Amino acid sequence: MSKKIRMITFDLDDTLWDNVPTITKAEVETRKWIENKVGKIDWGDLNDFLNLREELIKEDESIKWDISKLRKEIFRKKLAHITPEKYRNKIVEDAFTVFISKRHEVKLFDGVETALKQLSKNFVLGVLTNGNADIFRFGIGKYFSFSVSSLEAKNSKPNRAHFDKAIKIMGDIKIDEILHIGDHQVNDILAAYDLGIKSLWFNNNESIWNQNFPKPDEFSSWKRLPEIINNKYG
C-alpha cells in the first residue's frame, strides 16, 4: 500500500463540531417557530419519530437517505390538521428553511480552522457526510474541493457510494492515496476499511473501540491533526 496520500476526506457531524447541541437547538427553535404560527403541536417522542420514519420510508424509499425530505415530511404529518393544504405546505417549507439555517449554527472544535487551512496546502480536501450540513455555507468551505452528502450519493455511509462519488469527482486519485477522517466506528472507519482506504478515528470522548478489525490511529484534538498526518504520511 502506498504510504503517500493525496486526498483527505472528512465526516462533518461530530467530527468538525459537536452535533447534538446543534441539532437539538435547531429542532427546539424550529418547533417554537411552527407553534408560533399554528399553536401547540404534539411532537411525540423518539419512538413516534422512528415509527413515522419507517412509515414514510415505506411510501418513499428515498427518505432513507434524503434526510431533508424526511424532516419536511415529518413536519407535514404533524401539521396534517392545518388547512388549506397550500398554507400547510408553505409552513413546512418555511419551517425547513428555519431549521436548516439553525442547523448551520455550529461551534467548530478547537483547532479545526487552523488544521484545515494547513492541510489544504498539501492535500485535496473533501467532505463525505450522511447529514445535511453544507460545508460551503461556512467560512471553512474555502479549504474544500468537493462535498458529497447522502442526498448526492443517494445512499448513506458505511455503504461505498460516497467514496465512489469522491473518486469519480477527483478522477486521478487512487484508493490508496485517500485518508478518511471521522468519528463513527462503522459509518466512517469500517466504511473506509472495507474499501482499503486509510483512516484516522476522531475520538474526543474516550470511546472504547468495539469493532472486530484493527483500530486505526486515533486523535482527540484537532490541534494535533496536521502533525499526526505529517508524521505518518509526510
Cα distance between the two ends of the chain: 15
Residues 128-147 that bind Mg ion (CB under 5 A): none
Residues 190-219 that bind Mg ion (CB under 5 A): none
CA separation (Å) from 109 to 14, 26, 42, 204? 9, 18, 34, 10
Residues 165-184 that bind Mg ion (CB under 5 A): 183-184
Least distance (Å) between residue 67 CB and Mg ion: 13
Q: Count the site residues for Mg ion by CB under 5 A.
A: 5
The cell for 185 is 466506528
Q: For residues 76 and 184, which CB has a smaller minimum distance to Mg ion in the complex? A: 184
Structure-derived torsion over alpha carbons of residues 27, 66, 207, 219, reported in degrees to the nearest 10: -100
Q: What are phi and psi of 219, to 5 degrees?
A: -145, 155
Least distance (Å) between residue 59 CB and Mg ion: 28
Q: For residues 89 and 203, which CB has a smaller minimum distance to Mg ion in the complex? A: 203
14 binds Mg ion (CB under 5 A): yes
Least distance (Å) between residue 157 CB and Mg ion: 9
Q: For residues 34 and 191, which CB has a smaller minimum distance to Mg ion in the complex? A: 191
Q: For residues 17 and 33, which CB has a smaller minimum distance to Mg ion in the complex? A: 17
**In which element (H, E) is residue 98 found?**
helix 85-103
Least distance (Å) between residue 11 CB and Mg ion: 4
The cell for 158 is 458505511
Least distance (Å) between residue 7 CB and Mg ion: 19
Q: For residues 14 and 73, which CB has a smaller minimum distance to Mg ion in the complex? A: 14
How far apart, in whole angstroms, are the C-alpha atoms of residue 222 and residue 209? 20
Least distance (Å) between residue 131 CB and Mg ion: 8
Cis omega before residue 158 (within 30°)? yes
150 binds Mg ion (CB under 5 A): no
Of the residues 5, 13, 166, 189, which one makes contact with Mg ion according to CB under 5 A: 13
Q: For residues 71 and 184, which CB has a smaller minimum distance to Mg ion in the complex? A: 184
11 binds Mg ion (CB under 5 A): yes
Is residue 191 within 8 Å of 159, Cβ to Cβ?
yes
Q: Name the 3-class secondary structure at 180.
A: strand
46 DSSP β-pair partners: none
Residue closest to 192 by CA, chosen among 227, 216, 221, 209: 216
Contact residues: Mg ion, CB under 5 A: 11, 13-14, 183-184
